[in-house]
Structure 1
């Protein structure tokens, strides 16, 4: 028996050594997605970059947030809906072999005013096999009824035509996270995409329990990252005693929080259960912090200025753009054609719009 115990000890030790330095991945029996810390730190940089107001730097991927883990990214389409203060882009990240779609979060007001003015009315969702699903009217409208959706879908088709089949990763912060979730659902249901992954940061609730349940099945590879006491994931409110009637998050949540005492504080990344409303994750604390909403993984997630919807653009970049009669702008490039090299330093040629 002694030899068997020693053999088991040696085998266990080998497993410990072999697993050293590997990224922790958590998989549950409910077949929810595996959380990948490295991918999260990459996608949060895309969610940050989409806030940039200098469209020339963003389109040429030379902005101050267009470096580090996203270096080498190639934008295919950048869309700015001036009328509704919305912005998003589609491009290809060859290092992770994926088409990346990112949506900008709220710019129109301060976060506090946005919370107070939030349009909570639920809308019947006309999607196949979702008869009882209802969603947030404002967030649904922002993706489906603006210039954002057609521009995004057109760019995805162009990217797939040129690069072939790739994973599609959709991300966004705050309201941009809500739009990312609707985009992922749109791609999976209406466009039969089989390889859609959604990861959002500080996303609000966007639908009722029936919607959350169906969303989890239709877009199973979805992660919602929440941070500490971030106020936004707590809105619109969820009432546990009326869980089928009120807004309800879909799974899976990953909650970032700090623990410890004094100088021994360290960060924890908790992979939550499959309910979408795990009482031991962000629901275990009061959502009362705006500062926790504005930075994830140490990355800033907000606009550069408080001025809403301000954009800056070199006139030469309009060679790639079209505008509609409302002033909404789409900048597009052919993936097969190298992008014109521009001097992206601020100069007298720049025109604030």
Structure 2
């Protein structure tokens, strides 16, 4: 038998229980909100759409193979939002099929460093597919110096650290500061160029103690494991990885969620471009993802099965104009004003560019 007690007692008892429930609910929500705020990744950079549309043009321009047009910034992709860019140094590592430039964007008040991806072009999809298939089997195979348990992709690491690209970049950054002062540094690139951009940004922070380094990449593959991603996000928090719809490359090398410490892992923050809607009511969304680097609601929520989505971002083509199998176009001016080493690698510096422009405009004799 249950003794109910007086009605007024039962009413007070219900109010008391309700008050306890409300307090517990409020406390629970408060704890959740605090945890969510802590996970709001305030240390990570905010996404800037306008900056992304500018940097994607730099990431496109670095694919140009006509070196004279590129180092004089007169190429077909060297206008629009990047007009007036002052090239400090153009680097071409012919031996490893790599290309990069360093210059100053006065409208951004920043040094811009751009890296070319692989020699991608629609007419040679087989070569892209071969590269992509190779990424499926890539294992973490090198320890990143000074970072316990951090492992990275040997090929991407070596492309930046073990070629003529790195010393040329560091030298050009110092020269840019001599000309323009201590500017911010923005590093960008597409595909493999994005992977190199990430290593470059980290290198500038760790080894040159550069301040105000920002990295924004497009269609970048994974480059290291979770330990590396954690170190990277702490050291270069001002980083954005833009991914596009079903682009296959950001899904590679594969991420195995059941082996979080042993698998490749993206660093944050991702911004995922994708279309929503049906029929004619379709529009593009730019989703700013969480701070995990592997947000299941962003590009990981779809199948990464599109090469076409890899080659165009914001309507800008990120590929070579034509297929030349790592070829470059050099006219007599490029040969005359560039510095070439014994392996055929080429550097075009600001001084030689200015000298060429002066002599060309005055019609004087070229040395």
TM-score (normalizing by structure 2): 0.83
Which residue pairs with 1:172 in the alignment?
Answer: 189
Aligned-pair CA distance for 1:159: 0.4
Q: Supply the distance in 2 between the matched residues of 1:275 and 1:223 (Cα, whole angstroms).
A: 13
1:252 pairs, out of 261, 265, 269, with: 269
Q: Supply the distance in 2 between the matched residues of 1:79 and 1:260 (Cα, whole angstroms).
A: 43
Aligned-pair CA distance for 1:33: 0.7
- For structure 1, list consecutive stretches of 5 or more residues without a partner in the other structure: 1-26, 344-353
1:12-23 equivalences under 5 Å are none
Q: Supply the distance in 1 between the matched residues of 2:279 and 2:355 (Cα, whole angstroms).
A: 52
Does the CA-based 8 Å contact 1:323-1:330 persist in structure 2? yes
Aligned-pair CA distance for 1:322: 1.1
Against the structure 1 CA distance between its residues 269 and 324, is the aligned structure 2 distance closer, same or farther, given a 3 Å change threshold?
same
Which residue pairs with 2:212 in the alignment?
Answer: 195
Larger relative helix fraction: 2
Query: Does structure 1 residue 98 correspond to structure 2 residue 110?
Result: yes
Aligned-pair CA distance for 1:96: 0.5
1:276 pairs, out of 268, 293, 307, with: 293
Which residue pairs with 1:237 in the alignment?
Answer: 254
Q: Which digits, 9 at most, give the CA deviation of each residue in 1:96-141, with x for residues without a partner? A: 100000000011772211011236132333433x111000000001
Query: Does structure 1 residue 51 correspond to structure 2 residue 68?
Result: no
Which residue pairs with 1:124 in the alignment?
Answer: 142
1:324 pairs, out of 338, 341, 354, with: 341
Query: Does structure 1 residue 155 correspond to structure 2 residue 178?
Result: no
Q: Which digits, 9 at most, give the CA deviation of each residue in 1:228-274, with x for residues without a partner? A: 00000000000111111100000000000000011100000000000
Task: Tell which deviates more after alignment, 202-211 or 237-246.
Answer: 237-246
Does the CA-based 8 Å contact 2:138-2:153 persist in structure 1? yes
Q: Supply the distance in 2 between the matched residues of 1:127 and 1:113 (Cα, whole angstroms).
A: 30
Which residue pairs with 2:86 in the alignment?
Answer: 74
Task: Tell which deviates more after alignment, 31-40 or 103-112.
Answer: 103-112
In our comparison, the structure showing a higher alpha carbon Rg is: 2
- For structure 2, list consecutive stretches of 5 or more residues without a partner in the other structure: 1-38, 121-125, 361-367
Does the CA-based 8 Å contact 1:162-1:335 persist in structure 2? no
2:323 pairs, out of 301, 306, 311, with: 306
Q: Supply the distance in 1 between the matched residues of 2:87 and 2:211 (Cα, whole angstroms).
A: 22
Does the CA-based 8 Å contact 1:30-1:274 persist in structure 2? no
Against the structure 1 CA distance between its residues 334 and 278, is the aligned structure 2 distance closer, same or farther, given a 3 Å change threshold?
same
**For 2:68, what is the secondary structure of its paired residue?**
helix
Which residue pairs with 1:22 in the alignment?
Answer: none
Aligned-pair CA distance for 1:342: 8.6
